[in-house]
Amino acid sequence: MTNELNQTPDVVNSPYQAEVEVEAMFPPGFCWGVATSAYQIEVAANEGGRAPSIWDTFSHTAGKVKDDSNGDVACDHYHRYPEDVESMAQLGLDCYRFSMSWSRVQPLGQGEWNEEGFDFYSRLLDKLEEKKIAAHLTLYHWDLPQALQDKGGWLNRDCAFHFAHYAHEVARRFGHRVASIATHNEPWCSANLGYGNGQFAPGVVDAVAAIQVSHHLLLSHGLAIQAMRQLDVTAKLGIVLNQWTAEPATNSAADQAEAAWEYARSVQWFMDPIFKGHYPQIALDRMDLSRFDVHDGDMEIIHQPLDFLGVNYYFRAYVSTEQPPRQPEAKLGVTDMGWEIYPQGFTHLLTGIHREYKEHGLPPIYITENGVAVADRLTAGGVHDSARIDYLHRHLEAVAIAIAEGVDIRGYFYWSLLDNFEWNSGYLRRFGLIYVDYQSQQRIWKDSAYWYRDWIAAVRGK
């Protein structure tokens, strides 16, 4: 893996010099967008018949969120969505990725549907249609109805079947109004942060449970795709995975083996079942899958043809077995999340999955998330976030190189439109192109928003 990686052009040394060429490397019809999620922006926690999700419970538990905040109001997008869609139109976006709050449309996660909840999403879609912005809907961005958690959540196999039922109903209502439906956002996080280290809701710390949960999430994905396919919807169907390359710190056999294992348990753990119909061999060699509840036929259910794959990229994994572990040089620095800025990894990742899965039904890829947290400061003159512009430019360049190397990438969604509730970091981290003053709910365009608008216009002008 290392040798192949080293052959990819070095993004660190090339940004800006080839600006015109890079812009021209995006094919006609490439879709430019932004992404958000329900709990992070909507939330109007107690309005419109919405019931609590696991994130309401978690964020209201003392000590779970760094600034002791919650998503009760967040960006008040539930009321301000017309203004937010207006901003998207002014940015010149083709597409918008958002998630549906399951407990808004089905408060208990099974049984009764909440019409008021569906009405909200219908009004949002009306507004997007009016502005000719294609809607890309994610069914699950981590906010499981609390009522299902009370029955065991994703550790309970039944949850997968409830999810498929929910997917079917959403597709029945909106499957002809949205451009795509993704089943899950970043199931790696739901399993490993929700159940592995407990940093995210529901806050369970149990490595074995995390593996069982990841299997149920994959199963729910397969069941949901099957359920939605029955409806003959026009929406493209897929899943969104967060991915990274795992790069060994040295050429030592130990580092190389550990990097291969890291890649297997994060990227291939989800990709192999979906595209190859089995868990990665290296994981099967290291783990005793018979300890887990995997039924005959599950892998066939998970292994459904997809119309698209969503890839979220933020950083690489730098793998060192030395003690203390070697740290990456971080030539481009780290973000406000403490994540290394490493655009080369983006190209490596995309070309790598293309190579590995193209013979296994890999569909067109959308970059469904990529973005940066910056310690933005609002001044009288605005928000001068040159670091975000630099990040964006370098990562778009990395995507362009992957396209030039033959990867079929159809769109890019910046994370995120607005500053928002950054999970266990609360409101301490800002990813938005648009600054949110949480006291007044005023939205202020950062320099990066103007830059992204002009970038999109320039690409279209080619």
Site residues (CB under 6 A) for ligand IFM? Answer: 37, 40, 186, 312, 369, 415, 422, 431
* Nearest residue (CB) to ligand IFM, 258 versus 369: 369
Q: How far is the CB of 74 from ligand IFM (least distance, A)?
A: 12
Residue 432 has which token pair?
A: 């938005």
Catalytic residue among 23, 186, 258, 397: 186
Catalytic site includes residue 186: yes
Q: Which is nearer to ligand IFM, 369 or 390 (CB)?
A: 369
Q: Are 54 and 149 spatial neighbours (Cβ–Cβ below 8 Å)?
A: yes
Q: Are 268 and 317 in contact (CB under 8 A)?
A: no
175 vs 187 by CB, closer to ligand IFM: 187
Q: Which is nearer to ligand IFM, 114 or 335 (CB)?
A: 335
Q: How far is CA 408 from CA 308, 367, 400, 403, in A?
A: 10, 11, 11, 6
Cα–Cα dist 266/262, whole Å: 6
- Give least dist CB 240 to ligand IFM, A: 9
How far is residue 129's CA from residue 302's CA, in Å, rounded to a whole number? 33
Smallest distance from the beta carbon of 371 to ligand IFM, in angstroms?
Answer: 7
Closer residue to ligand IFM, CB minimum distance, 5 or 210? 210
Count of other CB atoms within 10 angstroms of residue 146? 22
Q: Which is nearer to ligand IFM, 42 or 298 (CB)?
A: 42
Alpha helices in 287-429 (DSSP H): 298-302, 343-357, 386-404
Long-range (24+ apart) CB contacts under 8 A made by 438-442 are 438/73, 438/75, 441/75, 441/76, 441/80
* Catalytic annotation present for 47: no
Instruction: Report in angstroms how near the CB of residue 424 gets to ligand IFM at its nearest.
Output: 10
Closest contact distance (angstroms) between CB of 103 and ligand IFM is 17
Maximum alpha-carbon separation in the chain: 63
DSSP state, 193?
A: I
Of the pair 37, 149, the CB lying nearest ligand IFM is at 37
C-beta neighbour count of 90 within 10 angstroms: 12
Q: Rounded to 5 degrees, what angle do the CA atoms 211, 212, 217 make?
A: 95
Shortest distance, position 40 Cβ to ligand IFM, whole Å: 6
Among the options 23, 258, 262, 369, which is catalytic? 369
The span from the CA of 141 to the CA of 303, in Å, is 21
DSSP characters over 65-123: STTS--SSSTT-HHHHHHHHHHHHHHHT-SEEEEE--HHHHSTTSSS---HHHHHHHHH
Smallest distance from the beta carbon of 378 to ligand IFM, in angstroms? 20
Which residues does the annotation mark as catalytic? 186, 369
